[in-house]
C-alpha cells in the first residue's frame, strides 16, 4: 500500500482510505469488524468516519460507526498505526446548536467523537459541509483552538464549492490561523467537476485531497445491468440517502457506460472496480481515495488498485468517458444542514 503526502502538510496517508458509513448499519457488527480487519490486512491505515454514521443517518443511530471503530481499535491495539479522520456538521440532536460549524457544535461534537472513538486525538477533523449560517472565521478559530488543545491535528472540509474554499483561505490569512489542510470532494470517472476549480485551488495552496465515491456509489462496480432497477441491499435502496444516490448516479447513460467499461477492463485482466479506483489514483492531485464495503470480500478489487499503473490504452479510454456524458445541474444533491432527516 502506497503512502502519499496530504497536500503540503506534514500528514502522510495511505492512498486508499476505508470509508465507514456502512459499518454498524448496512453491515452488522461482525461483518463490520471483518471489513475493518480486511482493510487493515490489505495495508489501509487511513480511516474516514463521521459522527452521524452509519447511513441512513438518523438521530437514534448517531455515533454507532464511531463507537464500533473505537472498539475495534481498542481490541486490536492498533490506534497508533492509523490515521483517523472523522467529521461533524449534520444534526446529532434536536436542538439548533446540535448541527453546523458553530463553535458550540464543533467543540461538543469533537469531544463526543473522542469519547466514542476511545482516543485522545483526531488526526484529521473535517467539517462535513459548508455552513452559511456561521461566519467562516468562527469555524476556523474553533478548529485552531482544537489544534492548540491537541484534540485535532489537521483540519479539512467536505462537500464544498471552490468559491467557499477561496473564502476560507482569505479568512485564514486575515485571521492568522492555519485554516483548512485539505478538501473532501466527490470524484470519479463519471463526475469530474472537481477538476475544474477545486483541484487547481488545492494544488495552488497545497491542500490535501481525499475523494469519495470513486465507484460512483457502486455504478462503477459493473454489477448493475442497464435497464434494471436498483438491487435491494445496495445504497440506492436505503431509506432517505438512497434517493440522494439515485439522483446522483442512477442514470441509464451511466449504467450503459459502466457496462461497456466492464468488458473493456476485462480485456486487460482487470475488474472495473480496480480500473476505476486506479484511474482516480492516477490523478496527482488526489492524496487518497475513500473506498467502502458492506462485505469484506468487496475490498479485494479496491486494494488491487494501489500502486497500479493502468495500461496506456485503457487509461486513454477511461479519460474520454466523462466528455461523452451529459453534465448534471450544479449542486443537485449538495448536502444541507437538514439533509436526510426529513426536516
- Evaluate whether residue 324 is within a structural domain: no
Instruction: Count CA atoms within 13 Å of residue 308 on its CB side.
Output: 25
CATH number of the domain where residue 118 is located:
3.20.20.100
The number of folded domains in the chain is 1
**Domain membership of residue 179 as a residue range:** 3-216+280-309
pLDDT, averaged in runs of 10, over the chain (343 residues): 98 99 96 99 99 94 98 99 98 96 99 99 98 98 99 98 97 97 98 96 98 97 88 84 88 95 98 99 99 97 98 98 82 60 35
CA distance 182 to 15: 14
Would residue 257 count as lying in a domain? no
Catalytically active residues are 53
Q: Is residue 115 part of a domain?
A: yes
| Confidence (pLDDT) at 159 | 95
Contacts of 86 (CB under 8 A, 6+ apart): 48, 49, 50, 51, 66, 113, 117, 122, 125, 126
Residue 341 pLDDT: 41
| Residue 200 resides in a domain | yes
In a domain, 240, yes or no: no
Check residue 241 and give its pLDDT: 85
26, part of any domain:
yes
Pull the grid cell for residue 183.
Answer: 478538501
The answer to whether residue 195 is domain-embedded is yes
Q: Distance between CA atoms of 320 and 332, rounded to whole angstroms? A: 24
In a domain, residue 103? The reply is: yes
Amino acid at each position: 500500500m502506497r503512502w502519499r503526502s496530504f497536500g503540503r502538510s506534514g500528514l502522510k496517508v495511505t492512498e486508499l482510505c476505508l470509508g465507514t458509513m456502512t459499518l454498524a448499519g448496512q453491515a452488522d457488527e461482525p461483518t463490520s469488524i471483518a471489513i475493518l480487519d480486511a482493510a487493515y490486512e490489505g495495508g489501509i491505515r487511513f480511516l474516514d468516519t463521521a459522527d452521524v454514521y452509519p447511513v441512513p443517518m438518523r438521530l437514534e443511530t448517531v455515533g454507532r460507526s464511531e463507537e464500533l471503530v473505537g472498539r475495534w481499535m481498542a481490541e486490536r491495539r492498533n490506534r497508533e498505526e492509523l490515521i483517523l479522520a472523522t467529521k461533524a456538521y449534520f444534526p446529532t440532536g434536536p436542538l439548533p446548536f446540535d448541527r453546523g460549524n458553530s463553535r458550540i457544535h464543533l467543540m461538543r461534537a469533537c469531544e463526543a467523537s473522542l469519547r466514542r472513538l476511545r482516543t485522545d486525538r483526531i488526526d484529521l477533523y473535517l467539517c462535513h459541509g459548508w455552513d452559511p449560517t456561521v461566519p467562516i472565521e468562527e469555524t476556523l478559530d474553533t478548529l485552531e483552538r482544537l489544534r492548540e488543545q491537541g484534540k485535532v491535528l489537521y483540519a479539512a472540509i467536505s462537500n464544498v464549492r471552490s468559491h467557499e474554499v477561496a473564502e476560507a483561505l482569505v479568512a485564514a490569512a486575515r485571521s492568522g490561523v492555519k485554516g483548512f489542510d485539505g478538501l473532501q470532494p466527490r470524484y470519479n470517472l463519471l463526475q469530474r467537476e472537481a477538476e475544474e476549480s477545486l483541484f487547481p485551488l488545492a494544488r495552488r495552496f497545497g491542500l490535501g485531497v481525499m475523494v469519495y465515491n470513486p465507484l460512483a456509489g457502486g455504478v462503477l462496480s459493473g454489477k448493475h445491468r442497464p435497464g434494471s432497477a436498483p438491487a435491494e441491499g445496495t445504497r440506492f435502496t436505503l431509506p432517505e440517502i438512497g434517493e440522494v444516490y439515485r439522483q446522483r448516479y442512477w442514470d441509464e447513460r451511466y449504467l450503459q457506460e459502466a457496462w461497456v467499461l466492464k468488458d473493456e477492463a476485462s480485456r486487460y485482466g482487470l475488474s472495473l472496480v480496480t480500473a476505476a479506483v486506479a484511474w482516480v489514483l492516477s490523478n496527482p492531485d488526489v492524496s487518497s481515495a475513500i473506498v467502502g464495503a458492506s462485505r469484506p470480500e468487496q475490498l479485494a478489487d479496491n486494494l488491487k488498485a494501489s500502486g497500479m499503473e493502468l495500461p496506456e490504452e485503457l487509461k486513454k479510454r477511461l479519460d474520454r468517458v466523462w466528455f461523452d456524458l451529459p453534465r448534471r445541474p450544479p449542486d443537485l444533491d449538495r448536502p444541507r444542514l437538514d439533509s436526510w432527516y426529513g426536516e
